[in-house]
Structure 1
Amino acid sequence: MLIPFDIWSPIFRAPFSGDVTQEITPRFLPPDIKGSPAIEEKVVREVASYGKQLGKVLEALQALAAATGTDLPEIDALVAEVETVKADAKEALRAEAKAALARLKAVDEDAWREVRGG
């Protein structure tokens, strides 16, 4: 005897109804990267992030442009935008820290004093 659920059971998988093992490895790079993903990941983890690498290239371009008297307005605009994002992120972090300190002071003033160093 078939019950209605039997029709759907081959395509419906309830939680934990199948293989529940899964490799959870943080990946910094997409799986379709050209070259060697292992080398790229090692560079990003141990040497410098893509942002740091790109920052060095942009600094070199700006220095070269200044030395040769060449205007690079798109590069200058890009650098300015990056600096704005960094400044905004720092300000947001400061605001979060101030809010966390205010919450700590309200709940545990002794711990607040300890964290403040006094």
Structure 2
Amino acid sequence: MPTFKLPLSGDVVQTISPWTAFLSPIGNQFGLINITLGQSSAPQVEQEVLNDIGSYGKQLGRIGDALIVLLAHLPADTRLTPDERKAIDALDDMLQQIADVKARHNRAAHRPRKIAAAA
């Protein structure tokens, strides 16, 4: 007796290659893990800055280094409210922690307290 199959009931074979799924871009994603940091009003500009100038980490590092210099030149008698002092101290602590991480990876690091003490 012959095998009888209804329409759309035949053998179904689908090969799924993890490499094909991993290496094929979907929209603007490419890879197994993709991180979306939000919408940009000018994604082409942002992408060019990231590619040609520096990553977010590098940009924030430069801003932190500049803040260390500015804080080192802040007069000692500057009157700050408790909230302002708290904000400066929190920034100082964070910049110290960043400098510690950089030092563990043999990277040059500015240290706020060291600069302030030398001034």
The alignment's TM-score, normalised by the length of structure 1, stands at 0.49
Higher RCO (CA-CA < 8 Å; seq separation 6+)? 2
The alignment's TM-score, normalised by the length of structure 2, stands at 0.48
Bigger share in helix:
1
